[in-house]
Structure 1
Amino acid sequence: MPAPERIPPGSLTAVELLDLLSAGELTVRGRVREASNAVLFCTVALDGEEAECVYKPVAGEQPLWDFPDGTLAQREVAAYEVSQATGWDLVPPTVLRDGPYGQGMVQQWIDGDPSASLLALVDDEEPAEGWKAVGLAQVGDGRTALLVHADDIRLRRLAVLDAVINNGDRKGGHLLPSADGRLYAIDHGVTFNVDDKLRTLLWGWAGEPLPAEALDVLARLESALAADAPLATRLAELLTPAEVSALRERVAALRKASRHPEPSGQWPAIPWPPV
């Protein structure tokens, strides 16, 4: 039998890629050791084609006091579904399926472009043109530096998506700019909590008016989250009724305020470690 042909990124339609991720044969090739939960690097093959992917089995999830056990994989899929509904396609194709270690999340593997610069630590008191300030960070020897992120429309869209899904862990290492100019965001297990959990490195627009395109997206999301709408029906399979209701309330509140959210002040606004 001939070896499967590796699929170049972007060569399949979204539907074809989802079919491959859902029905292909998963083969574990290695483990991402830096992750706190089990994250397995895999290939998935179907009908002579093969792609690289990430497999996060539910059995490898570490319990969290503020999230029900065994739900992180479902939240990853829910984040993908909401991302698709925005039209921004910020989250790689993601499915929930059985694998070698039981049910888990399977997501397209994205090779980030190491030459892309979206975050930086600078000695200046104010960010340079094209950058937004996040806050001061300790860099060792009692020295502080200003943490900044790029004033980039792709990041701004992601900041809106994170506010919608209530992302409690937006770190720098979760940002994957690709060589073709796309920005992908990964690791959405701690999302959709009913309480305000937003922790992120993308506070540069805090309090600023939302762009017109973001308000248009929020309006579409409100419609898509109406009872019995396809997105709402799909999310009901992945989240609790209270979490779906809280999602509706966040979208409505963001649209009404028409501004990027600001840190609540109730807990650290930036996740640790930040990368």
Structure 2
Amino acid sequence: MAEAEEFVYRATVAPAETDPMLQLLIEGDIEVLGLMPWSSNGTFLTNVSRGDDHAPAIYKPHSGERPLWDFPGGLWKREVATWELSDELGFGLVPPTVARTDDRAPMGPGSLQAFVPALFEEHYFTLRERSDEDLVDQLRKLCVLDLVANATDRKGGHCLVDSEHRVWAIDNGLSFHREFKLRTVIWDFAGEAIPGAMLDPLRALVDEGVPHRLARWLDDAEVDAVASRAAGVLGSGHFPHDPTGSRYPWPLV
């Protein structure tokens, strides 16, 4: 197996049995290294190991969640669901994320996500200033993902970039609400036509239904809402406007 540090950069469109990072996250032992600062819920840096292979990962246990009035408990499931959606669409924007519900999860059931060694001085607002069209296209793709996932907390600091100029979306737990609750900093593309290559993957969600790999993490109303939002994006074909000016998270970064 290649060095574990390489795994976090790979696109995760392969099934679990052939993707080394997913296998490590699913089967590895979890050692908690410490609490991540500035997190509203319990978020832990861990080392995940299996034999000679190891990699850093972010563990978000259910037991560390603070109750919210507008979301049910189990935000960790929505972290997994966002990766499932990104992977199903072939977008590759979310670091590999799995559910750990076995007795080796040190604080109980939760999500385990590959840690991205990003350029942490960068965030959405610094990335948007760049003239790198490939990077900007990745941000457009993230906007499409967030529209379908109904991202409710896409802060600028939740958009990372690594040394290979690849964009990653993290902190995805506030998503998939049955009611439209989109709150994001990504409004720069409002009114633009969405590229066909970003729309085409949504057609299966509408024509064939939401796949089980995603639906299993949501309730029936939330699943129906995913298909409805995908249909809405396809029908419009354009990035939306925010006429109210109120669909921003706080703080912005």
Q: How does the TM-score come out when normalised to structure 2?
A: 0.87
C-alpha separation in 1, matches of 2:205 and 2:7: 26
- Residue 161 of structure 2 corresponds to residue 155 of structure 1: no
- Where in structure 2 are the equivalents of 1:229-244 lying within 5 Å? 232-244=211-223
**Secondary structure at 1:44 match in 2:** strand
Query: Which of these two proteins has the greater Rg computed from alpha carbons?
Result: 1
Q: Which residue number in structure 2 is paired with residue 269 of structure 1?
A: 247
| Cα separation, 2, equivalents of 1:63 and 1:29 | 25
Deviation, structure 1 residue 212: 1.5
Aligned residues: 241
| Code of the aligned partner of 1:272 | W
Contact 1:170/1:271 (<8 A) preserved? yes
Map 1:135-146 to 2 at 5 A.
Answer: none
The CA deviation at 1:130 is 4.6
1:38 paired to 2:42: yes
Cα RMSD, aligned residues only: 2.5
CA distance in 2, matches of 1:128, 1:92: 24
Q: Tell me if 1:183 matches 2:189.
A: no
Q: Which residue of 1 aligns with 2:226?
A: 247
| Counterpart-to-counterpart distance in 1, 2:240 and 2:48 | 39
Q: Deviations over 1:209-233 (max 9, x none)?
A: 111112212224334x52xxxx621
In 2, Cα distance between the equivalents of 1:248 and 1:65? 25
Structure 2 gap segments, 5+ residues each: 13-18
Residue deviations 1:211-258 (CA, integer Å, cap 9, x gap): 1112212224334x52xxxx6212232100000000000001110111
Deviations 1:46-67 (Å, cap 9, x if unpaired)? Answer: 0211010000000101111111
Give the whole-Å Cα distance in 2 for the aligned partners of 1:169 and 1:114.
19
> What SS is found at the alignment partner of 2:211?
helix
CA offsets, 1:50-107, max 9 Å, x none?
01000000010111111112x2000000000000011110000000113100000000
Conserved 8 A contact 1:86-1:221 = no
- Choose which of 95, 107, 112 in structure 2 pairs with 1:92: 95
* Alpha-carbon distance change, 128 to 79 in structure 1, aligned in 2, over 3 angstroms: closer
- Does residue 158 of structure 2 align to residue 174 of structure 1? yes
Name the TM-score, length of structure 1 as normaliser. 0.81
Gaps of 5+ in 1: 121-126, 132-149
CA deviations over 1:153-179 (Å, ceiling 9, x no partner): 010100110001000000111111011
Cα gap change, 1:264 to 1:218, in 2 (>3 Å): farther
Cα distance in 1 between the residues matched to 2:88 and 2:206: 10
Instruction: Say whether residues 1:205 and 2:189 are aligned partners.
Output: yes
Compare the two structures and name the one with the higher strand fraction.
1
